[in-house]
Amino acid sequence: MTRTLLFFLTLLAFAVLRPACANAAEQAELNGNEALFTVMAAINAAGYDVDSQSAANHPLRKLVRDHLAGQKLASVEELKRFFAAHKQKSNSAELSQYISYALSVHGPPSFEYRFRPNELPPDVVPLAGLSEQMANFYREARISDMWEKSQPAFEKILADYQPLVTQGLIQSNAYLRNPTSGFLGRRFQVIVDLLGAPNQIHTRSYRDDYFIVLTPSAEPQADEVRHAYLHYLLDPLVLKYAEQLDRKRPLFDYAQGAPALEQNYKEDYFLLVTECLIKAVEARLTPGGAKKQAMVEQALREGFILTGAFADALPVYEKQDQALRLYFKELVDGIDLKAEVRRLEKVQFAKERVTKQPQATAPPPPPEPVGIAKALLEADDLYRDRKLEPAREAFLNILKMPDEQSAHAKAYYGLARVAALQGSGELAQRMFQKVLEMRADEETRAWALVYLGRIADQTGERDQAVENYRLVLGLQGATAGARQAAEQGLKQSFPNQKK
């Protein structure tokens, strides 16, 4: 059963109990997204390193980064140049443009745009030519296999989100008394991205699709999903009654003097109105009278100047029978300009907004190794214990196991080290060269180059040794130990002795 179908069935189960929401499932989805997964894998390989060492990352991000780093892919080299040429001033803007792109294409294998050129989002236009590179990367890196193997990780996160998202959507539809989840033909889509920097929330509205993209976080960002869903429901309503709301525009001047209010709200009156209405609805949905009032007062201090008016009007709406979409004109007409001016003149605007701080999270325990990964660990243990013949047999057995070249490259690396300790210098050299010919991760490649540099030093080929050491320093994935060994090799020729 697909996650989307399971999500729909859960919503429908709630709808049996709450008929007002009976059709809410028709336009709501909770999923991963292969196009976004591919784009995020690509930029991670191309140089997107924001919070790459954070404990809040999902483990899948490191697995994908390491896997791609261990391959010599021509498409990644092209992507690195593209990524560098489209750097943005902030990390948020950098990620944002690629999310916009991913949501604007049909996805693999062609990554063709869903829109005509004149309909593309503004931040996607400068990314001309990316689709061809994404198609090449998708094919060369075999992303379809990676996407398939990543599904258990996505299923786990989606299962965590499902009941919370369902509750938020049902709660919102019930409060607004919506027979459907918004205007007909529109869709609300929650997309989980496991390869982005943690604690990110991105929303987009393209044609009839409203998206919210969530990256890993300590706790599911359920409140943010409900907030986005309220935007999805209420944005069209506010625009529908623009004429009535324009009569309240004189209050907009007060927002200009709120230091904590973001500039986009100061420039877009209707965007500000929608946010004020949402904050009032969220306050009404929060249990506890004191907490409701505190939320309204905080919103006012931050410059959301109509939150108080909407919060006062909503209890009246709750006592009548119409849906908000039918009652909204009456609610707006009931706003008293003079009373709101008196209210706002008493407000002490805050200098900064109160933001929800992401919770710290400990890194998840690594999964127990199985299959070829377990065999590699056991072979390495034998090598460290200097049980060379059993280690050699273990590495040879790994080469008989079906897997991608990255694991086999590590087996050749193990055989090379065993040969070096057994005094078979020529065999060791051939095995280290074999590692470089395969799709080894950069950590393994770096150490293979260090050993090859030392072998070259021992045979009097100093120029070749220097070249190998320099190659180590050019690998981003080289460990500190490998870099130190390479730097030492550049300073002084490796002793002509067995190591």
Closest CA to 161 of 136, 183, 194: 194
Strand partners, 113: 105
List C-alpha distances in Å: 115 to 101, 205, 207, 209.
11, 13, 9, 12
- The percent helix, strand, coil of the chain (3-state, each to 5) is 65, 5, 30
Contact 341, 292 (CB under 8 A): no
CB neighbour class for 158 (10 Å; exposed up to 12, middle 13-18, buried from 19)? buried
User: Could you give the CA distance from residue 378 to residue 389 in angstroms, rounded to a whole number?
Assistant: 13
pLDDT at position 384: 85
pLDDT tens series, the chain, 499 aa:
344 434 443 443 333 333 444 344 445 789 999 999 999 999 999 999 999 999 999 999 999 999 999 888 999 999 999 999 999 888 888 999 999 999 999 989 999 999 888 889 999 999 999 999 999 999 999 999 999 999 999 999 999 999 999 999 999 999 999 875 545 567 899 999 999 999 999 999 887 889 999 999 988 899 999 999 999 999 999 999 999 999 999 999 999 999 999 999 999 999 999 999 999 999 999 988 889 999 999 999 999 999 999 999 999 999 999 999 999 999 999 999 999 999 999 999 999 887 765 544 444 455 566 778 888 889 888 988 889 999 999 999 988 887 666 788 888 999 999 998 888 888 989 999 998 888 788 889 889 999 999 998 888 899 998 999 999 888 877 888 888 888 888 988 877 544 3
Q: Which among 37, 36, 49, 35 is positioned nearest to 94, based on CA atoms?
A: 49
**d(C-alpha 105, C-alpha 112), whole Å:** 5
Instruction: Single out the residue of 392, 470, 399 nearest to residue 428, CA to CA.
Output: 392
Report the C-alpha gap between 130 and 136 in whole angstroms.
Answer: 10
Cα separation of 145 and 140, whole Å? Answer: 11
Task: Label residues 172-207 b or e (16+ Cβ within 10 Å = b).
Answer: bbbbbbbebbbeeebbbbbbbbbbbbbbbebebebe
Can you read off the two tokens belonging to residue 88? Answer: 């943005």
- Determine the pLDDT at residue 123: 92
Q: Which residue spans within 298-376 are E strands per DSSP?
A: none
The token pair at 140 is 């060369």
Residue 499: predicted pLDDT: 37
Q: What is the separation, in whole angstroms, between the first and last Cα of the chain? A: 56
| Other C-beta atoms lying within 10 Å of the C-beta of residue 342 | 10
Phi and psi of 205, rounded to 5°?
A: -130, 110
109 cis-preceded (ω within 30 degrees of 0): yes
Q: Concatenated DSSP letters for 115-163?
A: S-GGGS-TTTGGGTTHHHHHHHHHHHTTHHHHHHHTHHHHHHHHHHHHH
What is the spatial distance between Cα 101 and Cα 131, in angstroms, rounded to a whole number? 9
* Run of H or E including 211: strand 209-214
Q: How many CB atoms lie within 10 A of CB 3?
A: 19
- pTM metric for this prediction: 0.68
Instruction: Let me know: does 68 contact 44? Beta carbons within 8 Å.
Output: yes
pLDDT at 202: 94
Pairing status of strand 209-214 against strand 187-192: parallel
